[in-house]
Amino acid sequence: MRDLSRGLRAFWRDPSARGLLGLTLTLVGIATVFYRRVEDLSWLDSFYVSVITVSTVGYGDISPQTPAGKLFTLAYVVVSIGVFVALASTTAHHLMAAKGLAERE
């Protein structure tokens, strides 16, 4: 548990990690508002679709039905998945470094 705490503190001290987190949250927020307005989903369903899409889980239980929603989702996937993978990689690096399993910078 101490290593986890140390890794998360190191993550939070890293400006690029905080930037990736902020960008990911911004993209999820934009997508949530978009799906709420264009696809007429509830706020919870809109947030759910945004997170499931960016994390590449893609259950498929809720999907865009409108042409605008489908086009937006294509662009959202292209942009957000790369950002999410970078965030996950940076997080893993900090956690592994705290455990002594990664090269420290």
* Predicted structure pTM score: 0.82
Percent of the chain residues topping a pLDDT of 90:
63
Asked whether 83 and 23 are in contact (CB, 8 A), the reply is yes
DSSP result, 20-45: HHHHHHHHHHHHHHHHHHHS---HHH
- Whole-angstrom CA distances from 67 to 35, 61, 71 are 12, 18, 6
Quote the CA–CA distance of 28 and 86 in Å, as a whole number. Answer: 15
pLDDT of residue 61 exceeding 80, the answer is yes
- Give 2-99's CATH code, choosing from 3.40.630.10, 2.40.320.10, 3.40.190.80, 1.10.287.70: 1.10.287.70
pLDDT of residue 105 exceeding 70, the answer is no
Average pLDDT rounded to a whole number, residues 63-85: 94
- pLDDT digit string (tens) for 21-56? 999 999 999 999 999 999 999 999 999 999 999 988
User: In the numeric block, which tokens belong to residue 7?
Assistant: 């890794």
Quick one: pLDDT at residue 87?
93
Asked whether 97 and 103 are in contact (CB, 8 A), the reply is yes
**Domain ranges (residues) in the chain:** 2-99
